[in-house]
Amino acid sequence: MSLIAKIDGSGLGAKASTHDVRFIGALAGRYALPERRQGENSKIPVYACRLCSISTRILVSVGPVVGKEGETVSCHFNEFGMLRGRITRRLASGFVADLHINDNEREKLAAKIDWQKRHVHAQVPDKREHKRVQPRDPRSTIVLADGQSLPCFVIDMSRSGAAVSAHYWPELGTPMALGRIVGRVVRHLEVGFALQFIQPQAFEELEHLIKPAIAPTP
């Protein structure tokens, strides 16, 4: 069963209108938890996320930092724009949020969802030397040089590197391992950082290699 199916199944218990339009699919985006701002002059941390499903009333998303129930969340997806709401349920690697929008905004969102459902198979070919893809399960860990292990969210990946989001902002050149692959930070992103692998990896092995290494049983 896919990650989306596990998260978006009937287990959510959400009661949507029979007339409510819904899109189920993986879309990249970003989100912020404004209530966690440390001070007036500090920035609100922004993280990468992946939308699992959305209706005009709720959305389900996965990301590296799980908010608390009742906490305000702001999400942005290119396909739907900025969406604000409140977390109603925590998931193992994400959250369910009720959307706080008025009737006019709800109608506009319904039109965007309907359009996305009808055009979901229209894709633009990736012509870069090393094609980038989204992992089926974006959850992983990064291991720093001192052995510290931190949970992370893999935005996308290629044979030569990956874009990663985590509650950690490393300096350029910082060495680390993403799952079983060693690399260095080469660029900062709005929602995380880009990691370049020390050696190109086999494309068909990437999904397995980015998973955390399992410590041997003593």
Any idea what the Cα angle at residue 48 is, between residues 88 and 97, rounded to 5°? 15
Rounded to 10 degrees, the C-alpha dihedral 160/148/140/96 comes to -130
Question: Which residue, 70, 85, 118, sits at the end of a domain?
Answer: 118
201 in a domain, yes or no?
yes
pLDDT tens readout for residues 169-203: 899 999 999 999 999 999 998 899 999 999 999 98
**Domain count of the fold of the chain:** 2
Q: In CATH, what number is assigned to the domain containing residue 156?
A: 2.40.10
Containing domain of residue 81, as a range? 3-118
Please check whether residues 111 and 183 belong to one and the same domain.
Answer: no
Q: In CATH, what number is assigned to the domain containing residue 54?
A: 2.40.10.220
- What was the pLDDT predicted at 214? 57
Residue 206: band (very low, low, confident or very high) from pLDDT cuts 50, 70, 90: very high
| pLDDT(120) > 70 | no
What share of the chain in percent tops pLDDT 70? 82
pLDDT tens readout for residues 71-114: 999 999 999 999 999 999 998 888 999 999 999 999 999 999 98
Question: Phi/psi of residue 21, each to 5°?
Answer: -85, 145
What CA–CA distances, in Å, run from 158 to 69, 112, 204?
35, 30, 10
85 in a domain, yes or no?
yes
Q: Are 87 and 67 in contact (CB under 8 A)?
A: yes
Rounded to 10 degrees, the C-alpha dihedral 96/97/103/105 comes to -100
Question: Which residue, 118, 149, 170, sits at the end of a domain?
Answer: 118
What string of DSSP letters covers 2-36? Answer: -HHHHHHSGGG-----TT--EEEEEEEEEEE-GGG
